[in-house]
Homo-oligomer: A and B are copies of this chain.
Amino acid sequence: MLEDQIAKRIHEISPFYVMELLQRAKQLEAQGKNIIHMEIGEPDFATPQPIIDAGIKHLQTGQVKYTAAAGLPELREKIADFYRQRYGVSVAKHRIFITPGASGALLLALGVSLNPGEELLMADPCYPCNSNFASLFAGKAKTIPVDAQTQYQITADLIQLHWTKNTRGALIASPSNPTGTLISSLDLQQAVHAVTELGGCFYSDEIYHGLVYGAQASTALEFSDNVFVINSFSKYFGMTGWRVGWLVVPDAYVEATEKLAQNIFIATSTLSQYAALAAFEPSTIDLLELRRHEFEQRRDFLYQRLLALGFDCPVKPEGAFYIYANCSKFTDDSFKFALDFLETEGVAITPGKDFGNYHAEQHIRFAYTTAIENLRIAMERLEKFIT
């Protein structure tokens, strides 16, 4: 059994360059060096106590059997309520599937809709796993270079321009990882309509919804029922390690999604589903809103400092917990910049090439998933590093 027998799809999947940085960061930490982590796509806050308590309470019943493949009916109902309350949209409960994180949601969404050889349009830069999921099914991510002009989002015009007979659909992530930028409500609506008119599938990655500062994020469900919406309890709700998210599918895909979920997951973690029931409690939301406010303060601090240091961020990010900064004033090799910065100053950041090819060497992603005191020290170290 030889290495060259590894399935071809694996070679299509790009590695995470940040892993090399992470490994080095661990070595440095083992040597006693203080490292500030600004590379991590995970909130530093613990899971809210009401969710933890709900988990403990459920565990005490001792009942941790399989749920239905589509998930706990009560949780699907609560998500439908959430759409009604937060966005004013009505989503039929049977279209909502509970999944093992947003990863599971994307796996299902593409599994039921993307054929081998078909293309999926998405922005460059974007979250790298999105294109890798297309490769998993022998599909192909067709990335569209985006910049400040379109808030780093693909638009109806770009979709129409890049659409070919092999295109199956388009994926928009708003707020975006790595740029933290949002698509406007109107642009989202037009993108949804463009894809619908082209007869394709629209995939809306809304996993950073909730983490939005001074703006409002629209769900694609406001504009059409014929969309796939990927969401998660990981980011806003602080449930990363629980691996629970959800997928909304068009009516025509409900049966196919259920069949696929039964086969590839059986079901999502029962305990995580029961705990997630507490995610929508007022006491949880109050806590999450405080955290959102803290993220906003970090964003403001970091954004101002980066600009002051000479980094270029032409669109002020309004969501998620990332700033995607142009570092071309200092380097034309952002990966080397990140490695050197870690080595000399002990701050870990993510190089642009983890998110695509377009001007990737001139960009760095800074995650503000650490306390403002740490961000302050990191910026002092950055100032020292570049001067």
Contact = CB atoms under 8 A, between A and B. Distances in A.
Interface stretch (A144-152, A250-258, A357-365, A374-382): A250-258
A42 B66 contact: yes
B267 A241 contact: yes
Contacts of A259: 10, 13, 15
Contacts of A313: none
B253 A6 contact: yes
15 contacts: A1-B226, A2-B252, A5-B113, A5-B201, A9-B137, A10-B260, A13-B260, A47-B62, A55-B59, A100-B100, A100-B243, A101-B265, A133-B264, A136-B263, A242-B270
B241 A16 contact: no
B59 A59 contact: yes
A89 interface: no
A65 interface: yes
A12 to B, nearest CB: 11
A153 interface: no
Given A133-B263, A271-B272, A59 B52 contact: yes
A321 to B, nearest CB: 15
A107 B263 CA distance: 10
Nearest to A258: B19
A65 B243 CA distance: 10
Interface of A: 1-3, 5-10, 13, 15-16, 42, 46-47, 49, 52, 55-56, 59-60, 62-67, 100-101, 103-104, 107, 111-116, 128-129, 132-133, 136-138, 196, 199-201, 226, 239-243, 250, 252-253, 256, 259-260, 262-272
Given A56-B60, A103-B263, A136-B137, 12 more contacts: A1-B226, A3-B252, A7-B115, A10-B111, A46-B64, A64-B240, A66-B240, A103-B265, A103-B266, A137-B138, A241-B270, A243-B266
Contacts of A268: 243
B1 A201 contact: yes
A112 B8 CA distance: 8
B241 A199 contact: no
Task: Give the interface centre of A55, A201, A241 by most chain B CB atoms within 10 Å.
Answer: A241
B250 A1 contact: yes
B252 A6 contact: yes
A260 B67 CA distance: 26
Contact of A136 (B5, B16, B103, B264): B264
Given A263-B13, A263-B133, A6 B269 contact: no
Contacts of A62: 46-47, 49, 52
A271 B241 contact: yes
A229 to B, nearest CB: 14
Nearest to A201: B1
- Nearest first, the 8 A-B pairs at minimum CB distance are A241-B270, A64-B241, A46-B62, A132-B263, A10-B256, A1-B226, A243-B269, A269-B269
B241 A65 contact: yes
A17 to B, nearest CB: 12
A350 to B, nearest CB: 14
A265 B260 CA distance: 16
In this complex, the member of A7, A42, A101, A226 whose beta carbon has the largest number of chain B beta carbons within 10 angstroms is: A7
A239 B129 CA distance: 29
A116 B113 contact: no
Given A55-B59, A264-B133, A64 B138 contact: no
